[in-house]
Amino acid sequence: MTDRAHVSTDSLEDALLPWLPQQRWFAAKGSPIASLRVASRVDVGSRSDVQVEHLLVDVELGDGTVQRYQVPLGFRDAAVDDLAAWRLPIQDGPFVYDGLRDPTVIALYSDAIAAADSIGPLDFRLVAGAAVDAGMSGRVLGAEQSNTSVILGEVLLLKLFRQVASGINPDIELHRVLAETDCTYVAPLRAWIETESDGELSMLGMAQDFASDSAEGWTTALTSVRDLLASDRSPEDMDSDFAPEARGLGAAVAHVHADLARGLGTDERDASSTVAEILGRVEGAVAVVPELAEHLPSARDLVARAEAGGTATVQRIHGDLHLGQVLRTPSTWLLIDFEGEPAKSLEERRRMDSPLRDVAGMLRSFDYAAHHLLLGDADVTDETYARASAWAARNSSAFCDGYAEVAGYDPRDHAALLGAYELDKAVYEAVYEARNRPTWLDLPMRAVGRLAPPVRG
């Protein structure tokens, strides 16, 4: 059996320094690491010929910010070919690797969840009334994103957060509330993992039902757009017309909003503070996208109209809603990933906001889905572009119809505030595209032009 004591924390730190930046989920790619420290190292036990340790690793970047990462490690005496890609560069020691890639390590986590165990400072918690089977095997879900998701026994999806912040994780928090309201438009939360160090709580992962037979909203929407652009029929005659789906999605989002309001309350907020922030961001973005300057007068008008609307009802919302955050199962739509916008702090992500922000996020996503396939194609005719735009308009409208049926108000009745949220998002996209994909800049800029028409003078 491996003697982990032979691997000092110093050697682990030396090995993690080149290894971490190569991991897909490492958020600070390209920023030099000033220092790296193992903040916590816990023995999680052993199974077969593997020993498992749970590490929290603090990475200090050049600008002084510190990011904390969760890194479960497996230790074996002998190398295993299937795990070689995740090996830490440690010379003359045991074979050390990313434990979440090893089904044996996952089985250990899975059993700890089933037993609602505490292992050292790690607390595995079951949602009241939930039962999780022991002995489930696991496999990592497809392409790794900002977190690592593991499917357990084809029934649960265990998402381990890679970047860990102290405080309450909104994904777990909101899923717990939605479990209490029996919301059927999310995959029910069954368990989560948390830890306390230096009196501060951090949440490390969550397990919810795995919707095995589901398709991502983005994929379903793109199929519909592709079919429409390849045909000369009108959308309502197409088998893959998305409008009934968009309507159902609008209803699902409204149900989730109603449940979040019921579970965590609402508040009234003066719209002026929200729109002032939006205007500030639009003005700030001119430095990156100079073309935005001619839209500023109309943006100020839009914001003034939103402000004239008086107070806005705010509540907890999804915070980062788009077609990639919804799954279509054979029977319903599910909203996933309530973490909020990754770039914001935990505190900002937990702030109440208008549900119109989520609606605006989805409308922007329809616009992206519609025109995505045409980007970078120099031969696109005006007619094709118009067909794509009509797809976006049709589905935005169906989404709002579905939302209105459940919410009892139509988001379009708050046109100025909704428009201000759409503008906020479109300007964020414009900054992103200008920096990363300049040939795509036209897409958000057309939306900016619609929401805040240019004033040339």
Q: Which residues pair with 96 in a beta bridge?
A: 75
**Residue closer to Mg ion (CB basis): 337 or 358:** 337
Kindly give, in sequence order, each residue whose CB lies less than 8 Å from that of residue 137, ignoring residues fewer than 6 positions away.
Answer: 103, 106, 107, 110, 152, 153
Segment contacting ligand ATP (CB under 6 A): 121-129, 206-214, 409-417, 444-452? Answer: 206-214
Per CB under 6 A, contacts with ligand ATP among 381-400 are none
Q: Does 266 bind ligand ATP (CB under 6 A)?
A: no
Q: What is the dihedral of CA 386, 387, 389, 392, to 10 degrees?
A: 170
31 touches which of ligand ATP, Mg ion, none (CB within 5 to 8 A by kind)? Answer: none
Per CB under 6 A, contacts with ligand ATP among 306-325 are 324
Q: Is residue 146 packed enough to be buried (19+ CB in 10 Å), middle (13-18) or exposed (0-12)?
A: middle
**Residue closer to ligand ATP (CB basis): 324 or 402:** 324
Kindly give, in sequence order, each residue whose CB lies less than 8 Å from that of residue 406, ignoring residues fewer than 6 positions away.
Answer: 250, 251, 254, 255, 258
**Residue closer to ligand ATP (CB basis): 209 or 291:** 209
Q: How far is the CB of 126 from ligand ATP (least distance, A)?
A: 17
SS3 content of the chain, % helix, strand, coil (to 5): 45, 25, 30
Q: Does 28 bind ligand ATP (CB under 6 A)?
A: no
User: In the set 337, 367, 422, 429, which binds Mg ion (CB under 5 A)?
Assistant: 337
Q: Does 171 bind Mg ion (CB under 5 A)?
A: no
Residue 118 tokens read as 């505490």
211 touches which of ligand ATP, Mg ion, none (CB within 5 to 8 A by kind)? Answer: ligand ATP
210 touches which of Mg ion, ligand ATP, none (CB within 5 to 8 A by kind)? Answer: ligand ATP
Segment contacting ligand ATP (CB under 6 A): 204-212, 372-380, 382-390, 436-444? Answer: 204-212
373 touches which of Mg ion, ligand ATP, none (CB within 5 to 8 A by kind)? Answer: none
Residue 328 tokens read as 């279509």
C-alpha to C-alpha distance for 218 and 195, rounded to whole angstroms: 35
Segment contacting ligand ATP (CB under 6 A): 132-140, 143-151, 221-229, 409-417? Answer: 143-151
Question: H-type helices in 373-414, by residue range?
Answer: 382-407
CB contact at 8 A, 252 and 331: no
For residue 353, what is the DSSP state? B
**Residue closer to ligand ATP (CB basis): 100 or 314:** 100
Q: Does 422 bind Mg ion (CB under 5 A)?
A: no
Q: How far is the CB of 339 from Mg ion (least distance, A)?
A: 5
Q: Does 210 bind ligand ATP (CB under 6 A)?
A: yes
Per CB under 5 A, contacts with Mg ion among 378-407 are none
Q: What is the CA radius of gyration of the chain?
A: 24
Segment contacting ligand ATP (CB under 6 A): 56-64, 79-87, 139-147, 388-396? Answer: 139-147
**Residue closer to ligand ATP (CB basis): 94 or 340:** 340
Helix (H) or strand (E) holding 358: helix 355-372
For residue 87, what is the DSSP state? B
Q: Does 55 bind ligand ATP (CB under 6 A)?
A: no
Q: Binding-site residue total for Mg ion (CB under 5 A)?
A: 1
Q: Does 141 bind ligand ATP (CB under 6 A)?
A: yes
* Three-point CA angle 358, 363, 367, nearest 5°: 145
**Residue closer to Mg ion (CB basis): 186 or 285:** 186
Kindly give, in sequence order, each residue whose CB lies less than 8 Å from that of residue 40, ignoring residues fewer than 6 positions away.
Answer: 54, 55, 56, 121, 195, 197
Q: How far is the CB of 74 from Mg ion (least distance, A)?
A: 25
3 state DSSP class of 369: helix
Q: Does 211 bind ligand ATP (CB under 6 A)?
A: yes
**Residue closer to Mg ion (CB basis): 149 or 395:** 149
422 touches which of Mg ion, ligand ATP, none (CB within 5 to 8 A by kind)? Answer: none
370 touches which of ligand ATP, Mg ion, none (CB within 5 to 8 A by kind)? Answer: none
DSSP per position, 180-209: HTT-TTBPPEEEEEEEEETTEEEEEEEEEE
Segment contacting ligand ATP (CB under 6 A): 5-13, 176-184, 189-197, 207-215? Answer: 207-215
CB contact at 8 A, 140 and 105: no
Dihedral sign computed on CA atoms, order 149, 196, 192, 173? negative
Q: Does 187 bind ligand ATP (CB under 6 A)?
A: yes
C-alpha to C-alpha distance for 191 and 188, rounded to whole angstroms: 10
**Residue closer to ligand ATP (CB basis): 64 or 142:** 142
CB contact at 8 A, 360 and 278: no
315 touches which of ligand ATP, Mg ion, none (CB within 5 to 8 A by kind)? Answer: none
Residues contributing to the site for Mg ion (CB under 5 A): 337
Q: Which residues of the shown chain bind ligand ATP in the complex (CB under 6 A)?
A: 141, 145-147, 149, 157, 159, 187, 208, 210-211, 214, 216, 324, 327, 336-337, 339
